[in-house]
Amino acid sequence: MKIAFLGTPNFANKSLEMLFEAGHELLVITQTDKPVGRKRVLTPPPVKVRAQELGLPVLQFERIRNQEGVSALKEFVPDLMVTAAYGQLLSQEVLDIPKYGCINVHASLLPKYRGAAPIQWAIINGESVTGVTTMMTELGLDSGDILLSQETEIDINETAGELFDRLADIGAQVLSDTIAMLENGTLVRVKQNESEATKCSMLNREVGKIDFSFNARKIHDLVRGTNPDPGAYALLDGETVKIFRTRLTDETADAKNGECVIADAKKGLFVKAGDGKLLEILEIQFAGSKRMNAKNALMGKQMLGKVLV
């Protein structure tokens, strides 16, 4: 089958590799190279890098809806278009090009968590189950008919980055099953229940700001859900302290919210949350220092009684 594959981050690479190994004729379309890091180094998206490693043709457009993108797709004459975290909205003109339409690989159990960052928001919101859904793409935001889905449990300590990797594998398998059913004529489309639909926004740095008046579980979920990006943080004496991993405990304390009740290189770093519970900080990065185990970070640093805000 001739497939136009549209994807950008690492999440899409597993699906791309599956399609390549299955022997489909592929045209890869991804976003343009972007400046990354403090030095603003122009960096290709992960899908471009992997596609080139596989020897596949790659096209990049500022807007796939523009005439240049539309013309390239029409010239390829795809049977099917597949999108996986591509990051651009498609026009009806684009959607009408492939014979069998466009299938999207979405990292949530639709209709929940339509939109950007569904993996991160599922963790931030304390969900215990998520999954991957394949759907027919239409003009609405992730509102097309559901094709297949697969659930997976979220471990209470799993980070967004770890779940991201697992869902990429699941997504590739669900996409493989979806295409197989499309080819043998057994694929069934199911309308989404609009009354159950939820939307999630893109993440920005402010999402990761910890409010220690929240209960320990909510803070723990925020830290997990923003790891590795955009990252959770608090302020200490006006300077940013990045927090990468935490652990829930049953210990309690009568102290200020955000106060470091235990701060010892042997015992660790425990901070009081809004419900009275102590939350252990496992990985931390103080201003001007490197990311490290909290116990190591406390060597030579006095934190007892200090308050994170």
Pairing label, strands 114-115, 102-106? unpaired
d(CA 78, CA 99): 7
| pLDDT tens, residue order, the chain (309 aa) | 999 999 999 999 999 999 999 999 999 999 999 988 888 889 999 999 999 999 999 999 999 999 999 999 999 999 999 999 999 999 999 999 999 999 999 999 999 999 989 999 999 999 999 999 999 999 989 999 999 999 999 999 999 999 999 999 999 999 999 999 999 999 999 999 999 999 999 999 999 999 999 999 999 999 999 999 999 999 999 999 999 999 999 999 999 999 999 999 999 999 999 999 999 999 999 999 999 999 999 998 899 999 999
Segment (H or E) for 60: strand 58-60
Largest CA distance in the chain: 69
pLDDT at 300: 81
In sequence order, what are the residues at sequence separation of 6 or more whose Cβ sits closer than 8 angstroms to the Cβ of residue 67? none
pLDDT at 38: 80
pLDDT at 248: 98
Asked whether the beta carbons of 295 and 309 are under 8 A apart, the reply is no
d(CA 214, CA 305): 19
pLDDT at 36: 85
Q: Which domains does the chain have, with CATH numbers?
A: 2-200 (3.40.50.170), 205-297 (3.10.25.10)
pLDDT at 39: 85
Q: Which two three-digit tokens encode residue 42?
A: 């122009």
pLDDT at 88: 93
- Between helices 10-21 and 160-184, what is the axis angle to 10°? 30
Asked whether the beta carbons of 221 and 210 are under 8 A apart, the reply is no
Model pTM?
A: 0.94
